Amino acid sequence: MTSYALSGLRLKASLAALTVFLLLIGAMPLFPDFFSRMESALYDQRVRTAGPVPASPEIVLLDIDDASIRELGKWPWDRSVHARAIETLTRCETGLIAYDIVFHGHGSSKGDSALQEALKRNPRVLLPAGFSLTTEPKVVELDLDGLQNAVEKSVLKTSIPGIGDILQADRAFLPLQELADRAAAIGHISASPDSDGVLRRVPLAIGVNGRPLPAIGLEAAMRMLNISEVRWIPGSFQLKGKKLSFNIPVDAAGHMAINFSGKWGEGFTHLSFADVIAASGDPEAEGDLRLLVQGKTIIVGHTSSGSTDIGPTTVSGAEPLVTVHSNGINTILQQTFIRPAPVWVDLIIGAAMIGTICLLAFRFGPRRFVLAAGALIFLYAVANMSVFIIGGVVLNLSGVIYSSMCCFLVALGLKSLLLFAENEARRVEREKLQIQLDAAAKIQSHFWPRIPDLGNGDRIFAYSSPALFVGGDLYDIIPLEDGSWIIYLADVSGKGLPAALVMASAWTQIRSSAARNSEPDKLLEAVNRNLYPFLERNSNFVTILLLRYFPDSGRMQWVNGGHMKPLILGPEGVREVTGITNMPVGIFDEAEYHMEETTLEPGESCIMMSDGVTEAEDIDKQLFGEERVTTALLESPPETRGEVLAEAVRKWRNGKEQNDDTTIVEVMRR
């Protein structure tokens, strides 16, 4: 496939990427929950990767489980059963008892009376109240149906920082007034799931007629830690007691992120409600029970398989919702808070990521840019996870990665468009250059002479293959008036267009001087004088082997201007040719050249070659060498020596690109 076609594909891919990006940006208003759901899913993954936090040994879950339903009968039970359980736990010297079951309305007269007496004898029982929640700019006035006193003693002694931001109660599911009045306090158990229905947070307080009513978990934790003062300010609940003080990070609406101690059944100590009832009145059984619950906070919740009080949490798709309250208490006790980073921190990180990606786009090419940007985004995800695991800080992940990916796509698209434009410009320049090079190669081909008929059956073979589009090797066959021939092979230093220009100049000089100087030494001296002024010093020179051949006698006069010596082969093998090797043409302006003579006997050939023959490399960079030249010539038929040598060199390269021009000229006497 051509580079132009590849550039076209890159352009189409870039335009497609930009189009997809713009469609994604344009479609975002159609999916308002996209980022919140994505961030929530990534948040859950971070929580699960970080692992469960330690469960406080001070918390015991009393489960109304399937075994309790089988033992004590169909739910709901008569309230006397709960009274009996509270009395048993009271005798076992438990600390706090917090219910996750609303005793709404009247039950049986006997059951209500028994539960009231149990609450009267144990002043450390917390009862829950359920509320539907809303956000309104003004205080929602709620009819508390006689529970004003119970609510008043339970609300926090702090002001609400922004009534329009927090969740307010607009409908209530309240415990029976007689029970609420005898309880130590009431706390709300209203859930506040995220948009995907998952419970990740709990509102530590809600507005009830403009006053902050704490969650039952916050109330329980405050009593366990002997907290005497609470201040609710934007961003945190400040808790102060006699022995400790700390802040609970919350969002603007007062939600605390729950750091779970594991799935249901993991971490906390669990007791079956039926076991407590079974131990009631049995001194030995109550003694064993005391070992488990003495001084502990008991959280009572409905966990049987028939319960509707089940929902998804961060760590599980279905959990009894009493786990929200127990893990909320545990988060406060252990102070394993999850802190959302301020918005300005996320904005700075996002801007830094986008700026870095833009810098990478300017610094690197497309491939390295893709790798570097991908590594940057991956490292941010790892750093985000590390910050959460080590410090409990939640940095934005989905928004930063999304904006970084959008920036990456735009930068990659623009880089591809610029690359396409550059490739187009280069392609046009290459096409212009190629036209010129093709013309140069065509012009150079005209320098090679047609092989003449020497008239007496003698034969000349010539072969030349440039390493590039044009070459610096040169040969020519020039007839003289006396019937002799000037035959030469020259090799210009270097390759390509500069060598070809020198070659053309040398060809012109030799052609123009041959008519006036038929003697090889005088001819070469004239060429050197004329060519020297136009060659760059210490850079351009020409090695040349020039001979004058007389077909009638086989006599050869020759001059070697720094070139490889010729080889003469005959029926007897290789005949050594001796003589002076003179300076190449173009080294000194007044160089003198000495001529040698020999006679080419019938059946003999004179082989001239450039160093591209002996220095031809195979795929392992091994040279063809003089020995292989001799072997190829000796093993070939006399009439095809030159052709066989040229083919042997071609096979030796075996498709490897030429490293130098290759030229062979053979003069064979019949």
Intervals of the chain under pLDDT 50: 1-2, 4, 29
- Dihedral sign, Cα of residue 241, residue 242, residue 243, residue 245: positive
Name every residue whose Cβ is closer than 8 Å to that of residue 515 and which is 6 or more positions away in sequence.
none
Contact 585, 527 (CB under 8 A): yes
Cβ neighbours around 491 below 10 Å, total? 28
- Give the chain's end-to-end CA distance (angstroms, integer): 52
Name every residue whose Cβ is closer than 8 Å to that of residue 508 and which is 6 or more positions away in sequence.
none
For residues 411, 416, 421 and 424, what is the CA-based torsion angle, rounded to 10 degrees?
Answer: 170
- Residue 657 per-residue DSSP state: P
Contact 346, 396 (CB under 8 A): yes
Q: Which amino acid is at 599?
A: T
What is the spatial distance between Cα 296 and Cα 318, in angstroms, rounded to a whole number?
Answer: 27
Token pair of 224 as six digits:
């366990």
DSSP strands (E only) in 234-309: 236-241, 245-249, 255-257, 269-272, 297-302
Work out whether strand 319-320 and strand 168-173 pair parallel, antiparallel, or are unpaired: unpaired
What is the spatial distance between Cα 123 and Cα 119, in angstroms, rounded to a whole number?
Answer: 6
For residues 281, 283, 286 and 291, what is the CA-based torsion angle, rounded to 10 degrees?
Answer: 170
What is the spatial distance between Cα 276 and Cα 138, in angstroms, rounded to a whole number?
Answer: 46
pLDDT, residue 291, reads 94
- Return the closest-CA partner of residue 207 out of 238, 172, 183: 172
Q: Give 121-167 as a DSSP string.
A: H-TTEEEEEEEEEE--SSPPP---TT-HHHHHHHS-SS--S-TTTS-
What is the spatial distance between Cα 670 and Cα 666, in angstroms, rounded to a whole number?
Answer: 13
Q: Give 80-126 as a DSSP string.
A: HHHHHHHHHHHHTT-S-EEE-S---S---HHHHHHHHHHHHH-TTEE
- Residue 576 per-residue DSSP state: P
What is the helix (H) or strand (E) element at residue 292, kind and residue range?
helix 283-293
What is the spatial distance between Cα 496 and Cα 475, in angstroms, rounded to a whole number?
Answer: 16
pLDDT, residue 1, reads 43
Contact 480, 518 (CB under 8 A): yes
User: Mapping DSSP to helix (H, G, I), strand (E, B) and coil, where does residue 219 land?
Assistant: helix
Burial class (CB in 10 A: 0-12, 13-18, 19+), 58: middle
Contact 66, 305 (CB under 8 A): yes
Contact 483, 551 (CB under 8 A): yes
Percent helix, strand, coil in the chain, to 5, is: 45, 20, 35
Determine the Cα angle at 366 with ends 361 and 368, to 5°. 85
CA distances, 553 to each of 45, 478, 569 (Å): 98, 18, 17
Name every residue whose Cβ is closer than 8 Å to that of residue 558 and which is 6 or more positions away in sequence.
520, 545, 546, 547, 548, 566, 579, 595, 596, 597, 598
Contact 318, 197 (CB under 8 A): no
